[in-house]
Amino acid sequence: MTPQIPAGFTIPANEGAAVLTSLGAAVATHIRPHDVVHVAYSDARPNAALHEIVRQWAGKDPRLTLVTAGLVSSQHALVETGVVTKVIASFAGENLPTPRPNRAFQRAVADGRVEVESWSLWSLTARLMAGALGVPHLPVRSLVGSDMANDLRGKGFRELSDEDGETYGAVSPLRPDVVLLHAVAADRAGNVVMSAPYGEGAWGALAAKRGVIVSAERIVDTAAIREHAYLVRIPAHTVLAVCEVPFGSHPYGLYNPAFPGVADYVEDEAFVGEAFGASRSAEGFRAWIDEWILGTADHAAYLHRLGERRLGALRAAADPPHGQEEPAVTGGHTRAEAMIVTASRVIADRIRDGGHHAVLAGVGQANLAAWLAVTELKRTGADVELMAEIGMFGYRPRPGEPFIFAKRNLPTCTMLTDVATVLGAFVGGPATRSFGVIGAAQIDQAGDINSTWSADGQYLVGSGGANDVANADEVLVTVDHRRSRLVRKVPFVTCPGRAVRTVVTPAAVFERDPDRFVLTGIVGTPGPGGVREAVAAIRAECEWEFEVAAEPAVHPVPGAEELRALRLFDPRRHFLGRLGTETSETRRNAS
């Protein structure tokens, strides 16, 4: 006979006060003029909620402040329509498929329509953590020595010294009024299963003054939440409203760690490209916003315009075929490929010598160099792991997609965690010997890097996690070989160069010795004029003053197997350039 559960001990299928509502009602009820709104990132992004804010507030001058790890793609409509007048961010531009500025956002900054407060990813996350923990400040290693630190003094950042005289940063709490978060699933009360990796989203949710608006792919019973409690990151008492919003992350994707009944989907790269193309002109972007956001009554109408076929293809692409067409390795190589392969060899050598545990690289060519290096090190038995800033650790990059956060890479992780663990502990802490690889828009002869403001005052993209990665035990930088990139002094220090040991360009390898950079290597076999002519050509496209090693190494051009492996990662050549051409796009993507 089965024992009976005593009266009063039965656990109901649903529990807690229901806060289930429509997305439109949630925004209308909980977003107020002058609010500070945090866009919580995990693998998923609350884009449907942001679109709904544009629908309801465009033309009403609510003067919202947006807190975000990264302002990208259709999210720029918030600034274009005047809904958001201040952005507190680590990155504002485009990151899919390649990192680059967004023209609409640049125009808004130049016109004074939006104020930008630039942080690094970890320092911004640490502010949310301090808010969630209820502490007056949180120490960070980031920002110190950068111009961001100079700009942020009195705005939530200060510098302190420890008993040994070492300078570190302290950030003050940031508590947004409302947080927007898109989830895999939630129950009617608001217990939330997030999409992994977890970014900074949970910390932002716990820091919110009023609470969280949750959009979720699926609403489930509390019983299903209890069965998967190990996936829950947000408790119900912090949630203002929960809404069932399928494809609520579109045009970005969603990775479901293990919750039943919710299908993954990938980024809609074509849609992102269309939005980016439209943003090149004010008229074009306004027309795009009118069509896709203001011209759709709600998220259901937005999905209807996308169409079932397109949405189905995004779901199907989340489970791609395991095979990959072999790339051609004939027809020579591009400058970008020469730089990436050379950098990968140097990274592999430095890790063998330094015994590093993990490598972190940003989006772009620097990332491909890290992938190539670690793949080769793994092949030869080295014990080193790849990690990514939003919370990926121990992943093995799959062929076919060079975007660092690609869905096909997430199931290969040995650990799915968050920004605080990767950038705060693994990069900044003592337990992990970390190696950083950064792509630079500009770098000067001190190793300082700029990706925030140009010399003429134009906004670029900001730090993202680069300033945090610059605190790794050792850093290698990739950059295109041009005078506008290799400058005597950067106009803005995004990342101080104290940990930069090596700089690799399509033409040269520079190494620090000990406080200056020396030309130690030439990429490719020198021409008839020999090393002297090659050095002269390197100097002609570099503003640095540098010495030349007595016998600079000659780094061979990429071999067939190296090109094959590299082109498997980037078959559409987003970062590699077209063979036989050297386009402005190729040069720009070198950063």
Strand partners, 171: 138, 157
Query: 420 and 462: one domain?
Result: yes
> What does the alpha-carbon distance between residue 533 and residue 510 come to, in Å, rounded to a whole number?
17
Whether 373 contacts 450, CB under 8 Å: no
Nearest CA-CA partner of 91 in 65, 72, 114: 72
Assess whether pLDDT exceeds 80 at residue 323.
no
Token representation of residue 407:
């869905």
Domains identified in the chain, total number: 3
User: Is 15 part of a structural domain of the chain?
Assistant: no
Q: CA 340, CA 364: separation in Å to the nearest integer?
A: 10
pLDDT, position 322? 57
Query: Of 267, 287, 316, which residue sits at a domain end?
Result: 316
pLDDT > 90: percent of the chain: 89
Same domain, 189 and 159: no
Q: Would residue 125 count as lying in a domain?
A: no
Flag whether pLDDT at 591 surpasses 80: no
- Alpha-carbon gap, residue 511 to 471, rounded angstroms: 18
Same-domain check for residues 233 and 340: no
414: tokens are: 């040995």
CB 32 within 8 A of CB 54: no
The verdict on residue 3 lying in a domain is no
Sign of CA pseudo-dihedral 374, 376, 377, 381: positive
CATH code for the domain of 571: 3.40.1080.10
Q: Are 75 and 50 in contact (CB under 8 A)?
A: yes
Q: Based on the domain organization, do 459 and 352 belong to the same domain?
A: yes
Which two three-digit tokens encode residue 512? 């620090």
The residue type of 139 is P
| Residues with Cβ within 8 Å of residue 93, at least 6 apart in sequence | 71, 72, 99, 100, 101, 102, 105, 460, 461, 462
Instruction: Give the chain's mean pLDDT.
Output: 94
Closest CA to 192 of 121, 244, 132: 244
The mean pLDDT value for 217-241 works out to 97
Asked if residues 181 and 46 have their Cβ atoms less than 8 Å apart, the reply is yes
Q: Report how far residue 70's alpha carbon sits from residue 76's, in angstroms, rounded to the nearest whole number.
A: 10
Q: pLDDT by residue (tens digit) across 112-149? A: 999 999 999 999 999 999 999 999 999 999 999 999 99
Q: Global pTM?
A: 0.95
Structure tokens at 112: 């004074």
Is the pLDDT at 88 greater than 80, yes or no? yes
Q: Is pLDDT above 80 for 325?
A: no
- Which residue range is the domain that position 197 belongs to? 23-119+175-316
Q: Using alpha carbons, select from 500, 364, 379, 355 the residue that is nearest to residue 432.
A: 355
Among 92, 35, 480, 100, residue whose Cα is nearest residue 240:
35
Q: Is residue 6 part of a domain?
A: no
Strand order in the sheet with 157-161: 138-140, 167-171, 157-161
Give per-residue pLDDT as tens, 350-385. 999 999 999 999 888 999 999 999 999 999 999 999
162 and 187 assigned to the same domain: no
- Specify whether the CB–CB gap between 119 and 463 falls below 8 A: yes
Identify the pLDDT of residue 363: 84
Regarding whether 270 and 167 lie in a shared domain, the answer is no
C-alpha distances (whole Å) from 76 to each of 84, 279, 285 are 9, 9, 9
First to last CA, the chain: 70
Shared domain for 535 and 391, answered yes or no, is yes
Among the three residues 283, 316, 349, which one is the final residue of a domain in this structure?
316
In a domain, 326, yes or no: no
Question: How many residues are present in the chain?
Answer: 591
Give the range among 63-67, 148-152, 419-423, 579-583 with minimum mean pLDDT.
579-583
Residues 295 and 431 in one domain: no
State whether 398 and 275 are in the same domain: no
Tokens standing for residue 205:
């949710």
The DSSP line for 543-582 is ----EEEEEEEEEPPPPHHHHHHHHHH-TT-TTT--TT--
Over residues 178-186, the mean pLDDT reads 98
Mean pLDDT of 172-192: 98
Q: In which residue are the tokens 């007595």 written?
A: 550
In a domain, 124, yes or no: no
327 in any annotated domain:
no
Q: Are 345 and 247 part of one and the same domain?
A: no
- 486 — phi, psi (to 5°)? -95, 80
* The pLDDT of residue 109: 98
| 457 and 426 inside one domain | yes
Residue with tokens 């023209």: 103
| Residue matched to tokens 């950083």 | 436
Cβ within 8 Å of residue 243, ≥6 positions away:
20, 21, 22, 23, 26, 213, 214, 215, 216
Domain stops at, among 152, 172, 192: 172
Question: Do 412 and 467 fall into the same domain?
Answer: yes
Determine contact, residues 475/503, Cβ cutoff 8 Å. Answer: no
pLDDT of residue 324: 62
Q: Which amino acid is at 468?
A: D
In sequence order, what are the beta bridge partners of 66?
Answer: 37, 87
Asked whether 114 and 292 are in contact (CB, 8 A), the reply is: no
**Domain presence at residue 130:** no
pLDDT-derived band at 321 (thresholds 50, 70, 90) equals low
